Amino acid sequence: MTSNATPTYEERLAGFDWSISERELDYHPGDRINIGWYCSDRICAQGKGAKPALLWEDHQGTERTYTYDDLRLLSNTIAHYLRDLGLEAGERICLFLDRVPELYIGFVGILKMGGIAQPLFSAFGEESLHTRLANAGTAAIVTQRKHLGKVRKIRDQLPDLRYIIVVDAAQAPLQAKEVPLALDALTRVESLEVYRSTAETPSVLHYTSGTTGQPKGAQHVHYSLIAQYLTAKWVLDLRPDDIYWCNADPGWVTGTSYGIIGPWVNGVTQVVLDSGFNAERWYKFIEKYKVTVWYSAPTAIRLLMREGAELAHRSDLSSLRHLCSVGEPLNAEAVIWSRETFGLPFHDTFWQTETGCIVITNFPGMPVKPGSMGRPFPGITATVVDPRTFEPYTEPGRVGLIALKPGWPSMMRSYWKNPTAYEGKFRNGWYLCGDRSSIDKEGYFWFVGRDDDVINTGGHLVGPFEIESALLEHPAVAESAAVSKPDKINMEVVKAFVTLKPGFSPTVDLELEIMNTIRRRLSPLAMPQEIAFVDSLPKTRSGKIVRRVLRAQEWGEPIGDVSTLMEE
Amino acid sequence: MDDLQRVIRDYVVKEYLEEGDDREVTETTPIISGGIVDSFSMVSLKRFLERKYEIQIPDADASPAAFDTVASIAALVVRFQKKA
């Protein structure tokens, strides 16, 4: 549990100003600010060079330890390597890696040489990868041999891509544009001219899905550090002696904001398990490394619940002192279960790719209302607004759109090459998150659902347009619609409705073939968990497919106004 | 490795190992915790087994632990073949 010395939420709120963070980081407006330097060199300059920054383990039990001095030197080495290739500040450098050390260290190295880090989930298929690399005009991709097949399939369609950097090439034959990066074999670079970035210098590009169009790149800047530092310290309650574990993959924003930047700018030791889910292994991992702070996700918690409390009790989990969760609403049952099983509640946190940092949260020490998202982080003005007027609701309990007053340090600065979509996120002076919620009398937010057709599956947003486009490329598919359907573990999963072209019959084999096609081309997350073969899809009189009717059927909700639908 | 395990192994290698991923998959290779098949993809593997062996595997039995190796998947299939 949090100690008595931890300030209360109200104490944090009183007189809050983001300059608190600036002062703690010795940053003054106008100074240089480089996230990579803050996460490595600055910690070493504080005399903590010998402290472990990363304790890493893979599914086979291979272990690696990297101190902060290792992190400083190896990120210097990667930055130097990238510059030697001719890569320049401002260029997008993609990290397409499993959770190997090169991913974490490479992220820091890219920022130190002035590049824009573009982490992508390594389970993405070639089409998802191509969409994001083409939009970003990515200059280099850092990857592993096991993912080279996907990269090779699309490299010739990416004119901006100059280098494919392979971290485990060993003696494997490489092809055009491919170069090896054997980090252990390179001479460590002691001294590096860190790129002289300032507050508004672009730092990270994370892609996120919307209802329409292809995924958009939320572009962040180095000044985001100010928010990521303080939210990691106050919400995750990170302290110098903590052993911190974030389950998120850095292909998603949680895995960078709080799986790299947050712990390391705070000089905390973090652990990484490069492994798929296995409940027993997870508990043994916590026991082995004496994890104190654990940032997980509702889907993972529900999987652990399914395995039962007895399994948890077989490991010594007494090191845990603070638990947080992110990605989707944390159901009350999960909070109650964690209290009973670990003696600690999971604290739900709410934020998104665009916000860059936690914006609504259950603060340490604050009474947790199971099922609530919590209250706004100090410095964040959050409310719910009327969906028609975009004026804030003043009475408690009314469901409206979650809206944030722009201006916190880690807010995205734009969508890459898509200013129109960026501007579309603002109404009446508010940034709209795309989620619906109410606020109770005590100021706690209660999540209701998305305000659009985006599917939140296992804490990851999947855009229906991307899935439908891929479905239409299958030779059997005439029309398609992708919507969410309820799921006990992942909250929502993708369900596709498909009409077939003449000559094709709805069979289990065809369903399986379509599922696997989407999984390979896009990602496992985007793969429909169910495909319904139908004779027709609901459409407006102008012929536009109406997903909301299908979604309502799946969720058992009222279908709403159907007067504009075409009659079949 | 018996015939059932071989069919499952071959399907896992064909469908889920990426091109260029030269890992050997045996009956005891961890395929879920080893990151070859994730929890989302498990659904398509389950669907394949149900179709191929004409069985129904309830969601409650399709846990990551039950799907973690070719041997454990084969045992699951045998269990539900007997029930069918």
- Grade residue A190 by pLDDT with cuts at 50, 70 and 90: very high
Q: How confident is the model over A233-281, as pLDDT tens digits?
A: 999 999 999 999 999 999 999 999 999 999 999 999 999 999 989 999 9
Question: Which residues in chain B touch residue A281, judged by CB atoms under 8 angstroms apart?
Answer: 33
Mean pLDDT for B1-20 is 92
b/e map of A293-332 (b: 16 or more CB within 10 Å)? bbbbbbbbbbbbbbbeeebbeeeebebbbbbbbbbbbbbe
Residue A4 in this model has a pLDDT that exceeds 70: no
**In this complex, is the C-beta atom of A503 within 8 Å of any C-beta atom belonging to chain B?**
no
Mean pLDDT for A156-168 is 97
CA distance A495 to chain B (A): 12
Quick check: A327 and A254 in contact, CB under 8 A?
Answer: yes
Q: What angle do CA A293, A461, A354 make, to 5 degrees?
A: 75
pTM tops 0.80, yes or no = yes
Question: Which residues in chain A touch residue B64, judged by CB atoms under 8 angstroms apart?
Answer: 276-279, 303
Length of chain A: 568
How many Å apart are CA A196 and CA B60, to the nearest integer?
Answer: 54
Contact B32 A278 (CB under 8 A): yes
Q: Which of A243, A230, A237 is nearest to A271 (CA)?
A: A243
How many Å apart are CA A468 and CA A481, to the nearest integer?
Answer: 6
Beta partners for residue A449, in sequence order: A436
Start-to-end CA distance of chain B, whole Å, equals: 24
**In this complex, is the C-beta atom of A276 within 8 Å of any C-beta atom belonging to chain B?**
yes
- Grade residue A214 by pLDDT with cuts at 50, 70 and 90: confident
Quick check: A131 and A121 in contact, CB under 8 A?
Answer: no
Q: How confident is the model over B22-70, as pLDDT tens digits?
A: 889 999 999 999 889 998 999 999 999 999 999 999 988 999 999 999 9
Query: What residues contact residue B15 under an 8 Å CB cut-off, 6+ apart?
Result: A516, B44, B45, B48
Contact B35 A276 (CB under 8 A): yes
CA distances from A483 to A206, A492, A532 (A): 23, 9, 11
Parallel, antiparallel, or unpaired: how do β-strands A269-274 and A243-246 relate? parallel
Query: What residues contact residue A62 under an 8 Å CB cut-off, 6+ apart?
Result: none
Q: How confident is the model over A347-359, as pLDDT tens digits?
A: 999 999 999 999 9
Half-sphere exposure in the Cβ direction for A254 (13 Å, CA): 24
Contact A279 B33 (CB under 8 A): no
Question: Which residues in chain A touch residue B28, judged by CB atoms under 8 angstroms apart?
Answer: none
Contact B20 A146 (CB under 8 A): yes
Contact A529 B40 (CB under 8 A): yes
| Residue of chain B whose alpha carbon sits nearest to that of A149 | B19
3-state class percentages of chain B: helix first, strand second, coil last, to nearest 5: 50, 0, 50
| Residue of chain A whose alpha carbon sits nearest to that of B41 | A524
**In this complex, is the C-beta atom of A148 within 8 Å of any C-beta atom belonging to chain B?**
yes
Query: What residues contact residue B4 under an 8 Å CB cut-off, 6+ apart?
Result: B74, B77, B78
Test the B interface: residue of A512, A514, A530 with most B CBs within 10 Å:
A512
- Tell me how far the alpha carbon of residue A550 is from its chain's centroid: 28
- Grade residue A172 by pLDDT with cuts at 50, 70 and 90: confident
pLDDT at A543: 78
Quick check: A327 and A339 in contact, CB under 8 A?
Answer: no
Quick check: A98 and B35 in contact, CB under 8 A?
Answer: yes
Joined together, the tokens standing for residue A51 give: 């402290």
Test the A interface: residue of B11, B13, B17, B19 with most A CBs within 10 Å:
B19
pLDDT at B23: 85
Task: At A260, give phi and psi (nearest 5°).
Answer: -135, -65
Question: Which residues in chain A touch residue B15, judged by CB atoms under 8 angstroms apart?
Answer: 516
How many Å apart are CA A274 and CA A46, to the nearest integer?
Answer: 30
DSSP string, A344-361: SPEEEEE--TTT-S--EE
Q: How confident is the model over A338-349, as pLDDT tens digits?
A: 999 999 999 999
Residue A568 in this model has a pLDDT that exceeds 90: no
Question: Which residues in chain B touch residue A168, judged by CB atoms under 8 angstroms apart?
Answer: none
DSSP string, A475-531: TTEEEEEEEEEEETTTEEEEEEEEEEPTT----HHHHHHHHHHHHHHT-TTTS-SEE
Please give the mean pLDDT across all residues of chain A.
94
Number of neighbouring beta carbons within 10 Å of residue B62: 18
Joined together, the tokens standing for residue A40 give: 């490595």
Q: Which helix (H) or strand (E) holds A54?
A: strand A52-58
For A1-7, the CB contacts below 8 A with 24+ separation are: A1/A321, A1/A322, A1/A344, A2/A237, A2/A321, A2/A322, A2/A364, A2/A365, A6/A237, A6/A364, A6/A365, A7/A365
Residue A360 in this model has a pLDDT that exceeds 50: yes
Percent of chain A with pLDDT over 70: 98
Residue A2 in this model has a pLDDT that exceeds 60: no
Question: Which residues in chain A touch residue B54, judged by CB atoms under 8 angstroms apart?
Answer: none
Q: How confident is the model over A37-73, as pLDDT tens digits?
A: 999 999 999 999 999 999 999 999 999 999 999 999 9
pLDDT at A249: 94
Q: What angle do CA A49, A250, A203 make, to 5 degrees?
A: 75
Question: Which residues in chain B touch residue A103, judged by CB atoms under 8 angstroms apart?
Answer: none
User: How many residue contacts between A and B have a Cβ separation below 8 Å?
Assistant: 89
Out of A15-24, A153-162, B13-22, least confident range: B13-22
Test the B interface: residue of A249, A516, A520 with most B CBs within 10 Å:
A516
Contact B64 A278 (CB under 8 A): yes
Contact B38 A458 (CB under 8 A): no
| Residue of chain A whose alpha carbon sits nearest to that of B18 | A146
pLDDT at A459: 85
- Tell me how far the alpha carbon of residue A453 is from its chain's centroid: 19
CA distance A97 to chain B (A): 13
Question: Which residues in chain A touch residue B47, judged by CB atoms under 8 angstroms apart?
Answer: 508, 511-512, 515
Mean pLDDT for A157-161 is 98
pLDDT at A451: 86
How many Å apart are CA A68 and CA A41, to the nearest integer?
Answer: 8
The A491-500 sheet, strands edge to edge: A477-487, A491-500, A530-533
pLDDT at A265: 98
CA distance A428 to chain B (A): 39
Half-sphere exposure in the Cβ direction for A174 (13 Å, CA): 18
How many Å apart are CA A42 and CA A49, to the nearest integer?
Answer: 9
Contact B44 A512 (CB under 8 A): yes
**In this complex, is the C-beta atom of A426 within 8 Å of any C-beta atom belonging to chain B?**
no
Question: Which residues in chain A touch residue B37, judged by CB atoms under 8 angstroms apart?
Answer: 276
Q: How confident is the model over A446-459, as pLDDT tens digits?
A: 998 888 889 999 88
pLDDT at A567: 60
Quick check: A2 and A34 in contact, CB under 8 A?
Answer: no
| Residue of chain A whose alpha carbon sits nearest to that of B29 | A60
Start-to-end CA distance of chain A, whole Å, equals: 60
Residue A35 in this model has a pLDDT that exceeds 60: yes
Mean pLDDT for A405-421 is 97
